[in-house]
Structure 1
């Protein structure tokens, strides 16, 4: 009860604190996952821009530290960081992390080698014969995680780019990835001829929501979660989440030398 009372008291002070100097600074682990998060992008990427502004609404500053995904998970759980940016909603992760209110919602899709572009599927079992590539350490959604666990026809690679290269070369047949990341990588890193070797099949797998991950069991976890959720609510009311998505599609966050216009899909 004392913790809950403290949170309520601090949140009551937030409107006045957010317009002055920061009263709290958080260290958040992040990864190189453009265009959502990357030290090579404006504001450390689209998602981190939202997180920063949401916490500023409550008078909180953020320092991001970039590292590989698996290391970011371990370090955050070990108490080295206050939170992790970012993760899709995965039920199996709820034992260790709180999921914040959603930051964004994205479509999870399948890319296939072009020889399978007319492949039909309605259940994941329909594609069990295809050699699937997945990115090491990533959890896509609960249904796909279960499928991958029980399917021996799955190979892991370190990055999404490596999986797309394997798809182009025919080393794998199918690869799940969120729509924006897939488009971004194909347009930025591959030639027209290479892109011709890849096709998207329908339907999309699911809609996934993205979240700030706050480790459970830490003294300030509930406070951090409450502050962030309040900030996201404020950004939503102010229409800023729509504005950030528009900036993303216009290429604002990307490196100026290799921009990808997402709206040209």
Structure 2
């Protein structure tokens, strides 16, 4: 706590431009979840670019190591990595991880098969007779998680792509995913005919915020969160978060082997 207090005071008093060189290097576990995070994309993806730049604002250099989600969570909790990139805000996760300030915010939506009779929804009770697909290991918000746990018609698939394939083929009727990821995967991995087979419905389920995750209980856990939040605040004040979002929409981060037209008009 004393170390945290000292560095928090320094960050408050010393202009960030005075950091002449990096004074700390950290390792962050990450996953392959394009376009947010991917070792095959520029700067390891959109979210990881923000994370590395936020830390750099406070003189911290980041090394990303990519691995499957479950392994990344376990390795971070075991102290093999300083942080995990990234996680949506889930209240239950707060028992083991600190959530940073929000990095981005996206809409969690239902994609449905275009031939289904689902044009909109207002409560989960309306969906009980529909076949829903979910992704293994994904933590949804409390209300949706409770519905999934208590509904026999829910089917679990290994990946978001497999859920979308099941949706296109009609094996399931609907699938919850954040709007940007769903759109990106459809553009990258599906034909135009397949894309026509699915659509989103209103209203969106919830707003999903993304966060850097730091395991609780390590000596410098709060320090890392404070450093990152300070850097993120600086990026916001400098207008760089808006710039990074524009780079995402312009296709800057994408895998050159699987280009996507990001113009969603």
TM range, normalised to the smaller chain? Answer: over 0.9
Q: Report the Cα distance in structure 2 between the residues aligned to 1:125 and 1:3, rounded to whole angstroms.
A: 51
Q: Contact 2:8 / 2:226 at 8 angstroms: preserved in 1? A: no
Q: Report the Cα distance in structure 2 between the residues aligned to 1:19 and 1:10, rounded to whole angstroms.
A: 11
Q: Contact 2:112 / 2:118 at 8 angstroms: preserved in 1? A: no
Q: Report the Cα distance in structure 2 between the residues aligned to 1:191 and 1:14, rounded to whole angstroms.
A: 53
Q: Which secondary structure state, in structure 2, belongs to the residue aligned with residue 64 of structure 1?
A: strand
Q: Report the Cα distance in structure 1 between the residues aligned to 2:38 and 2:117, rounded to whole angstroms.
A: 31
Shift of residue 149 of structure 1? 1.7
Indicate how the Cα distance of structure 1 residues 18 and 106 shifts in structure 2: closer, same or farther if over 3 A, else same: farther
In structure 2, the residue matched to 1:133 is: 133
Shift of residue 4 of structure 1? 4.1
Shift of residue 264 of structure 1? 2.4
State TM-score, norm by structure 2: 0.95
**Gaps in structure 2 of 5+ consecutive residues:** none
Q: Which secondary structure state, in structure 2, belongs to the residue aligned with residue 70 of structure 1?
A: helix
More moved, 76-85 vs 48-57: 76-85
Q: Report the Cα distance in structure 2 between the residues aligned to 1:184 and 1:134, rounded to whole angstroms.
A: 18
Structural mapping, 1:155-194, within 5 Å: 155-194=155-194
Which deviations, in whole Å up to 9, do the C-alpha atoms of 1:20-54 show, x marking residues without a partner?
Answer: 22111111010000000000100000000000000
In structure 2, the residue matched to 1:37 is: 37
Which deviations, in whole Å up to 9, do the C-alpha atoms of 1:35-83 show, x marking residues without a partner?
Answer: 0000010000000000000000000000101111111111111111111
**Gaps in structure 1 of 5+ consecutive residues:** none
Q: Contact 1:134 / 1:155 at 8 angstroms: preserved in 2? A: yes
In structure 1, the residue matched to 2:63 is: 63
Q: Contact 2:103 / 2:210 at 8 angstroms: preserved in 1? A: yes
Structural mapping, 1:1-265, within 5 Å: 2-12=2-12, 15=15, 19-116=19-116, 118-265=118-265
Which deviations, in whole Å up to 9, do the C-alpha atoms of 1:126-152 show, x marking residues without a partner?
Answer: 112111111111113222122212222
Q: How many residues align?
A: 265
More moved, 208-217 vs 11-20: 11-20
Which deviations, in whole Å up to 9, do the C-alpha atoms of 1:141-174 show, x marking residues without a partner?
Answer: 2221222122222111111111101111111111
Q: Which secondary structure state, in structure 2, belongs to the residue aligned with residue 177 of structure 1?
A: strand
State TM-score, norm by structure 1: 0.95
